[in-house]
Structure 1
Amino acid sequence: MLIQAIMTAPAITVSPKTPVAEAAKIMLDHRISGLPVVDDEGNLIGIVSEGDFLRRGELSTERKRSWLLDFFTSPGKIADEYVRSHGRSVDEVMTSDVHTILPGSMINEAVDVMEKYGIKRLPVVVKGKVVGIVCRSDLLQALIRFLPNKAASTKDEDIEEAIVAELSQQSWSRNGFINVKVIDGVAELSGSIFDERERLAAKVAAENVPGVKQVSDQITWIDPYFGAAMPAPTEPAKPEQSPLV
């Protein structure tokens, strides 16, 4: 899927001389956590986010160091921090080094960038101009559209075949030691695994197949070092409720 299919457009932007208070109000009013900063021609020059407002003099949250750390910190860095915690316009607190993405990029590229740099949003640009923005919430909206419909009515044989096909594609279960049997929409997983983490992975694989109502875990874990077999964990019995007096 392409970025242009899920991005928010047009993006809400601010100018570099927008007051910090106004930028904060725009974020609150529109329930967004970041704003691209553009010049008079619409060219992207930075981005301002909630994170840029965490260390503020008004909140007494400016960064404070011990006298020893302060001594070893360069005056330039301290001066830069002062500007960011006391600046009155967006251009004084914004981040200038902005990661962007093209509308024709695949969404996995956006996820890679967000994950690598720990960011929540990417301005979508064409020839330097902002045409939209893609945020984590946009990815969630796309996810909702693709999650399987659990109300789907499917034959047990088809469900079973789909689970087996999914397991056969995964390197952790390709050995074929996990068996599947579906009766009335309940998928029973049996067989053996050599790593406990495969148990949850197999359960998730089954849960994602349309028509599965429940997953019954009957998988046995075999210790790869000692060869000891451990049966599937059983759910604790629910305590009986005392009758009301």
Structure 2
Amino acid sequence: MQAKAIMTTPVVAIEPSASIVEAAGLMLSSKISGLPVVRSDGALVGIISEGDFLRRGELGTQRKRPRWLEFLVSPGRVAEEYVLANGRRVEDVMTDSVVTASPNASLAEVVELMTHHCIKRVPIVDGGKVVGMIARSDLLRALLHTQPASTPTAIDDERIRQSIVGELAAQKWAGNDLINVSVDKGIVKLSGAIFDERERRAAIVAAENVAGVKG
């Protein structure tokens, strides 16, 4: 599946010259936790999220260090933190180094970006313009659409058994020669020598995901 299949459009965005009050209000009214920051020509220049409002002077949550530690921090760094805590415009507090993906990127690539960079959303950019956004909630919706119908399909027990054996054989963690699989009217029984609880749980999950399994 590609990014363009699940990305949210149209994009709710904000300009860098907008106030942080406007940004916060737009997030709340749109029920989103982050906004791409775009110029009037549509070019992406940053991203602002809830996290950028955590260290604010108005809230008394700006960064404070022990006096002795202040001597170890450069004046430039302290000045930067002051702007983040007291800046009035989006461009003052936004993150200007933005991780993006293309509409044709796979979901695996998007998730890798999220996990590697510890981010919650990825702007989807095409031709230098933001055409969509993928947040964790979009991945949840995509996951729901992949789930099969709740009513199990009637499948021959031997076919079910062979499917489970095949799935276990494809997994490096599964010593499939040590796991015996039997199926009776869709009910699966796994037996054998499994000493690692993580492998035992993985074997159960593998069986549960085979079509026709009732329990």
Do both share a fold (TM > 0.5)?
yes
1:124 and 1:76 map into 2 onto residues whose CA distance is 33
Determine the structure 1 residue equivalent to 2:137. 137
Report % sequence identity: 53
1:208 and 1:26 map into 2 onto residues whose CA distance is 41
Determine the structure 1 residue equivalent to 2:200. 199
SS in 1 for 2:116: helix
TM (norm. structure 2) is 0.95
1:93-143 superposed Cα distances (whole Å, 9 cap, x missing partner): 000000000001111100111010100111111121111111111111111
CA RMSD of aligned residues (A): 1.3
Distance 1:149 1:168, change over 3 A: farther
Say whether residues 1:64 and 2:64 are aligned partners: yes
Determine the structure 2 residue equivalent to 1:179. 180
The amino acid across from 2:27 in the alignment is: M
2:121 and 2:83 map into 1 onto residues whose CA distance is 24
Q: Structure 1: where are the runs of 5+ without partners?
A: 215-245
The amino acid across from 1:15 in the alignment is: E
The amino acid across from 1:76 in the alignment is: G
Query: What is the aligned residue count?
Result: 214
* Alignment check: 8 A CA contact 1:84 1:93 kept: yes
TM (norm. structure 1) is 0.84
Determine the structure 2 residue equivalent to 1:98. 98
1:185 and 1:31 map into 2 onto residues whose CA distance is 43
Q: Structure 2: where are the runs of 5+ without partners?
A: none
* Alignment check: 8 A CA contact 1:151 1:211 kept: no
Determine the structure 1 residue equivalent to 2:81. 81
Kindly state the Cα deviation for residue 174 of structure 1 after the two structures are TM-superposed: 4.7
Distance 1:166 1:179, change over 3 A: same
Q: Relative contact order (alpha carbons < 8 A, sep ≥ 6): 1 or 2 greater?
A: 2
2:134 and 2:109 map into 1 onto residues whose CA distance is 12
Determine the structure 2 residue equivalent to 1:6. 6
Q: Comparing both structures, which one devotes a greater share of its residues to helix?
A: 2
1:212-242 superposed Cα distances (whole Å, 9 cap, x missing partner): 222xxxxxxxxxxxxxxxxxxxxxxxxxxxx
Equivalent residue runs for 1:113-128 within 5 Å = 113-128=113-128
Say whether residues 1:25 and 2:21 are aligned partners: no
Structure 1 segments of 4+ aligned residues over 4 angstroms from their partners: none
Kindly state the Cα deviation for residue 76 of structure 1 after the two structures are TM-superposed: 0.8
